């Protein structure tokens, strides 16, 4: 009995420690710190390990390190495919989407998996803001001929932003990112002022967000 209680306590403690790493992962991602992301990916497990590798892949891809990006995505995918909760499925869908973005030929095999993961995630947690965010990203990146649209991307990211207004105590990433994607969709729809306003909102949430700062500077506007 004592052994079972001890193991349960250790398991809960490990989960709490890992959950506390998400802000650190976000901070390293916001500043595109590959070394920190690699270190965090080695210190975590389960969902947090996958999330660290997902953010590592994004940063590596931006910096032109495609081999590292692909490896990190592969690790994230294999980790998440062993989990079946809403958060894992939403992140898995985003991982599939990024893999398709890096290698378009994988769209035929991963596209249906992306759709299925999102459907399952939404069924498990209809009010999960990250599910809405990933759906928005998918709508933004999917060609119109296959169902994507800027209108849907704006609507879905707006839904995500509204859902992020609810209290969050565990997995809480994506709030500022939702403003980024809505801004990009607005920009592509000709609403430059709306886009700039959204990117400024992202900065208010995460002042060190390099992507938001880059977009603002690119448009000769600082926060």
Superfamily designation of domain 127-223: Tetratricopeptide repeat domain (1.25.40.10)
- Mean of the pLDDT values across residues 38-66? 95
Tell me what pLDDT residue 170 has: 86
Higher pLDDT, 142 or 50: 50
- Mean of the pLDDT values across residues 178-204? 97
Mean pLDDT of the chain: 90
- Mean of the pLDDT values across residues 210-217? 92
Dihedral Cα 129, 85, 33, 67, nearest 10 deg: -120
- Mean of the pLDDT values across residues 128-156? 94
Tell me what pLDDT residue 222 has: 59
Tell me what pLDDT residue 13 has: 36
Tell me what pLDDT residue 19 has: 52
- Residues 59-108 have pLDDT tens digits of 999 999 999 999 999 999 999 999 989 999 999 999 999 999 999 899 99
- Residue 136: name the closest of 149, 125, 119 by CA: 149
Q: Do the Cβ atoms of 105 and 146 come closer than 8 Å?
A: no
Q: Give the domain ranges of the chain.
A: 1-126, 127-223
């Amino acid at each position: 009995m004592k052994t079972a209680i001890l193991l349960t306590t250790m398991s809960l403690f490990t989960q709490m420690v890992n959950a506390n790493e998400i802000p650190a992962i976000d901070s390293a991602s916001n500043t595109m710190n590959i070394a920190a992301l690699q270190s965090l990916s080695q210190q975590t497990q389960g969902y947090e390990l996958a999330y660290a590798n997902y953010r590592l892949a994004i940063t590596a891809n931006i910096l032109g390190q495609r081999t590292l990006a692909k490896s990190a995505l592969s690790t994230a995918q294999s980790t998440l495919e062993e989990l079946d909760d809403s958060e894992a499925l939403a992140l898995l869908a985003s991982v599939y989407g990024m893999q398709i973005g890096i290698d378009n030929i994988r769209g035929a095999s991963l596209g249906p998996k992306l759709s299925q993961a999102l459907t399952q995630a939404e069924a498990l947690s209809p009010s999960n803001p990250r599910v809405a965010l990933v759906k928005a990203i998918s709508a933004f990146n999917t060609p119109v001929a296959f169902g994507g649209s800027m209108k849907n991307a704006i609507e879905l990211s707006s839904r995500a932003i509204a859902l992020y207004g609810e209290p969050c105590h565990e997995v809480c990433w994506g709030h500022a990112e939702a403003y980024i994607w809505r801004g990009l969709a607005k920009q592509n729809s000709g609403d430059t002022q709306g886009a700039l306003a959204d990117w400024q909102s992202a900065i208010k949430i995460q002042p060190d967000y390099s992507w938001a700062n880059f977009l603002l500077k690119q448009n000769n506007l600082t926060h």
